Chain A
Amino acid sequence: MSRNPNRLLYAKSHEWADVATQGDSKVATIGISAFAIQQLTDLVYMDLPKVGAKVSAGEEFGEVESVKAVSPLYSPVDGEIIEVHSELPENLDRLKEDPYDFGWILKVRLTNDVALASLLDHAAYEQRCNEEA
């Protein structure tokens, strides 16, 4: 099933979050937006954190190197990493084609909902991207 970008939440730093309920907790699947991937141009390396690591909204969880620039990746949520997409760093060329399905980076079990309120919906994020572009 394809993930619909119109239904995702977005951080101002260009990460998307797909939040779903799993049992008693909420899990956010996180990736980087098509707009950001376009800005990054050719990606050559990506650093991912380890499963079990804690992440906080607005703090770095990884890094990506495009041609001539290293850019941090920021967590849009608070929680604990329960899965990382380990195949992604070796297949970065596929991010451009498929940022919302193959391009997922992390799954995070949320410790609270607080950060979700400051994320943007698709329309607001798109407006922000238009302003940046």
Chain B
Amino acid sequence: MNVPIRKARLIIDKPGAASWNMAVDAAILESLTPNSPPTLRFYQWSRPTLSLGYFQSLANRAAHAESQVLEVVRRSTGGGAIVHEHELTYSLSIATPTQRTGASHSMYRTVHDCIITALAEAGLKATRFGQNLGQKKSAEPFLCFQRRTEEDLIVSGYKVLGSAQRRGAHGILQHGSLLMAASTGAPQLPGLLELSSHSALQRLGVESTDRSGRGLVQMLATRLAAAFQVNWDSSGLSRTEFERAEQIEADRYGHPNWTERR
């Protein structure tokens, strides 16, 4: 039986301010209706930024000296802090027919499997971390890429991809970060450029100097279209979404009350 191909939206954004990047994801999630098509968005950060997990305390950043000078934003998703410098950030927003709660493991699995396959075809072995070790939150490291959960992708013992989700009234947002190279804000965390051979990077279509991951965008979009059985339409945000994002940026992600809320 042929499954009908749905129309979906692909947004490839220029590097943006941290508060704007988070506001756009929130506006897309809030604007979902039960019939909305999925939206896949790739974006980057105009300045190196530390993003805190939703429940992390701002004071905890004092324990991580290398990222002290970076701008900070609080995400709507949970997990650990991320240094956004040499990485590719994606978000995927999908409407859900009923109000569900908790993580969508199938969504994690589908996105991460696409990346595992793409890396494998280039000769790079990435594996899911598998069953987590049941660490208590008190033992969790500050940085996301030093934590391990079941769906995280590991290359040569290092985490290169982590994602997190947030539920909304009519759908779910998953955003994630593919680490391309170590940054000055987190020099202890190598990315794909440090963990791959020159020939593997060539097969991936990534220049050895491309620390942005831009070279991966079209290839990942194609794989995700096949996995989710959609055709991408490259329309941008609707006027309503854009205006909502401006409001959310002003009220939430660009406001100290949000960043300093815990």
User: Is the beta-carbon distance between A13 and B99 smaller than 8 angstroms?
Assistant: yes
**Most chain B CB within a 10 A radius of its CB, from A36, A65, A68, A71:** A68
Alpha-carbon gap, A44 to B102, bound state (A): 12
Is B77 at the interface (CB under 8 A from chain A)? yes
User: Is the beta-carbon distance between B103 and A65 smaller than 8 angstroms?
Assistant: no
B123-149, CB < 8 A from A: 132, 134, 137, 149
A1-45, CB < 8 A from B: 12-14, 32, 36, 39-42, 44-45
Chain A residues with CB below 8 A from B150, complex form: 67
Is B238 at the interface (CB under 8 A from chain A)? no
User: Is the beta-carbon distance between B102 and A39 smaller than 8 angstroms?
Assistant: yes
Partner of B78, one of A39, A65, A128: A65
Interface size class of A (residues with CB under 8 A): 20 to 34
User: Is the beta-carbon distance between A69 and B102 smaller than 8 angstroms?
Assistant: yes
Is B76 at the interface (CB under 8 A from chain A)? yes
Chain B residues with CB below 8 A from A32, complex form: 101
User: Is the beta-carbon distance between B102 and A71 smaller than 8 angstroms?
Assistant: yes
Q: Which residues of B contact A (CB under 8 A)?
A: 54-55, 76-79, 98-104, 108, 132, 134, 137, 149-151, 163-169, 172
Q: Given contacts A68-B79, A74-B99, list 18 more A-B pairs with CB under 8 A.
A: A39-B102, A44-B55, A44-B137, A45-B78, A47-B55, A65-B55, A66-B103, A67-B103, A68-B78, A68-B103, A69-B77, A69-B78, A69-B102, A70-B78, A70-B164, A70-B165, A70-B167, A71-B167
